[in-house]
Amino acid sequence: MSSETLTKSSILEVSGIPAGSPVAEAIDGRANIIALSQTTEDAVLKPLETGAWSHDIRAALAARIAALNGETALVDRYCSLIEDASFADLADPLRSGKAQGLETICDFMDKVAVQTRDVDAPDIKSLQESGVSDADIVRLCEINAFMAYQVRVLAGIRLMKGARA
Amino acid sequence: MSDVIRKFTRSVPDWRPRVEPIKLEDATPEQLDALQVTPSNTKISAYVLTLAHDVETLKVRSPLFNGIMYDKGGLSREERELGALAASMVNHCIYCAAVHASRHAQIAKETTVTDELFAKGTKADLSPRNRAIFDFAHALSQTPSEASPEQMSALREAGLDDAEILDLILSAALFGWANRLMHVLGDPVRKGGT
């Protein structure tokens, strides 16, 4: 499968790999992984069963994590998916999430994204005590975890491209 | 909490969830499908039962995980494990580090590399190729990524081609993901504990 035959891929669209380049060739060799990465993005960002986190909240949190990682093109991509403008400023890591009643959620997501090693049992307990169900905690972690993967794939491919420029 | 393991080890611990996993007897048909429960396969780990709370993601992550770690060609299995281990050391995911250090040792048929890494961290005495791989994966696993053009050049100088470098990026990035589930949703505990 050529990368050009994939109908949609955030990784390919955001990374803008020149067709025919050695990097494009390497990526074609792992076209199955790129396709599965997109399937996973869809499952994490636009699931049928959203739990407490609507597609808008998921897109905003994804954009927030992309911003914490300095991935501006990805921030724009996820912000463009937010339909209800009242959630839009969750995408800004400088905003606390208080306006949306999601301050605890934003604190948790920021810590898991940036200070992963410091996350400990009390962080989960504080979500539980603020009324977040266990299923919704798992959903938050999957959003965070998938974004950790996607931003690093993009950062790595950017360096591959740069080294070949 | 005294049974929680805080130091890196190659002995794979048990994993104790911080949230309540789903109960197999209460699982929906979608969850049973994602868990691949069959009459002959009813033993599912607490970790997978925890992830079954988000069944749509669980269903798609296993093929992605297996593809990145086991697909043929590209970077060797041993070196993909090194990428996974570097990420797990950055994120201090004791469980993932144990699993992937022990797999590295099995595949490499030696323990020097993982002994060095657990004893000395980033100052470990490694071969030039392992050094380039570990340093790149370690830097890519920071938030934001600190991987540099110099580290990319070091990979090429150590003999990695584009396909191998892409596999390294994928394996390290995948553990940025796995660590944020394993390390966040549960504790590594001594085997046989409560």
Q: Quote the pLDDT of residue A2.
A: 40
Whether B66 contacts chain A with CB within 8 A: no
Q: Does B177 touch chain A (CB under 8 A)?
A: yes
Can you spell out the DSSP letters for A113-144?
A: HH-GGG--HHHHHHHHHTT--HHHHHHHHHHH
A156 sits in which H/E element: helix A134-164
Phi, psi (deg, nearest 5) at residue B14: -80, 165
Residues in B 113-132 with any Cβ partner in A closer than 8 A: none
More confident residue, B129 or B41: B129
Share of chain A above pLDDT 70, in %: 94
The whole-number average pLDDT for the span B59-78 is: 95
Helix (H, G, I), strand (E, B) or coil at A155: helix
More confident residue, B25 or B97: B97
pTM, two decimals, is 0.95
CA B89 to chain centre: 10
d(CA A116, CA A102): 20
Torsion of Cα atoms, B112 then B106 then B163 then A77, to 10°: -100
CB of B162 closer than 8 Å to CB of A22: yes
**Per-residue confidence (pLDDT) for residue B193, from 0 to 100:** 59
Whole-angstrom distance, CA of residue A55 vs CA of residue A152:
23
Residues B164, B74: contact at Cβ < 8 Å? yes
**Given a cut of 80, is residue A4 above it in pLDDT?**
no
Q: Which residue of A has its CA nearest to B63?
A: A36
pLDDT tens track for A49-78: 999 999 999 999 999 999 999 999 999 999
Residue from B65, B143, B165 whose CB has the most chain A CBs within 10 Å, to mutate: B143
Confidence of residue A3 (pLDDT cuts 50, 70, 90): very low
pLDDT for A85:
96
Say what the pLDDT of residue B151 is: 98
Q: DSSP state, B54?
A: G
B-chain residues near A70 (CB < 8 A): 144
